[in-house]
Amino acid sequence: MPPGDDAAVSALRPLGSNGSSVAIVVGRKKVATVDTGWAMDEGIRTDTPWTAELAARVHAAARQHAALAHAIRLTGARQRSSFDLTRRLKMAGHQEPDARAAVEKLADLGILCDDSLATRLAEELARAGRHGRRGIENKLRVKGFKPDLASKAARLAQEEEGDPDAAQTLAHKRARQLACYEPDVARRRLYGFLIRRGFDHDEARNATEAALSSLASEDLH
């Protein structure tokens, strides 16, 4: 409702089981839903004049409240990173400042924690044994984790959960699929495959040579 000379807040209607939200009514129209604590801090009461300045503040608070409520719903079903949650809120139509404010609020409340999520994802990837440290780091960065966090989580996960023979295991499996190629072609393809999985050059080279040598020995028998 647009402000008017005699417009005023006519009612404050608590919402939800715990009254954490309140609907602000001007005349007979609900103009916004905001956080109850915010409304109290702002001193909004019945008969508070509905001015242009108050309307602007209320509508800004309503946008932030809506973004936070949506963020809570999105994190109720699964853990999400700050990047993913911000992106989803923006895709749903929330303005970027409101989305970021909601994400920061959830982080302050301990509902959102990029560190713990990055650690868990890195450990899962390390245990799967299909990627080297750099591969795990790249996976985390693609998901929106900050480079320093992705690097730290990947390094610790590989040290604590990773299979030291993961490159060898993958190389032996892949080598069998390359048996029909000439040795030099198979070597290039196998080495490139391991590099793309995030193993370092020495790991990739040593695993490639070991796998191809083993395959050649099997063919001789």
| pLDDT digits 0-9 by tens, 58-84 | 999 999 999 999 999 999 878 899 999
The rounded distance, in Å, linking the Cα atoms of 110 and 115 is: 11
Other beta carbons within 10 angstroms of residue 177's beta carbon come to 12
Q: How confident is the model at residue 115 (pLDDT cuts 50, 70, 90)?
A: very high
Confidence of residue 4 (pLDDT cuts 50, 70, 90): low
Instruction: Please give the single-letter amino acid code of residue 200.
Output: D
pLDDT given for residue 17 in this prediction? 81
Mean pLDDT of all residues in the chain? 90
In tens, the pLDDT along 162-200 reads 778 888 888 888 888 888 888 889 899 999 999 988 888
Residue 12's SS3 state is strand
Rounded CA separation 29/97 (Å): 27
- Supply the pLDDT for residue 220: 46
Cα distance between residue 139 and residue 154, in whole Å: 9
- Compute the average pLDDT of residues 17-36: 93
- Is the model more confident about 182 or about 102? 102
pLDDT of residue 30 exceeding 70, the answer is yes
Q: Categorize the per-residue pLDDT at 95 as very low, low, confident or very high, splitting at 50, 70 and 90.
A: very high
pTM exceeds 0.85: no
The predicted pLDDT at position 16 comes to: 81
Q: Which long-range contacts (CB under 8 A, 24 or more apart) does 51-59 make?
A: 51/3, 52/3, 54/3, 55/2, 55/3, 55/31, 58/24, 58/31, 58/32, 58/34, 59/31, 59/32
Percent of the chain with pLDDT over 90: 65
Please compute the mean of the pLDDT values over residues 88-101 and round it to a whole number.
97
Q: Strand order in 9-15's β-sheet?
A: 9-15, 21-26, 29-35
Percent of the chain surpassing pLDDT 70: 95
Q: In the prediction, which pLDDT does 96 show?
A: 96
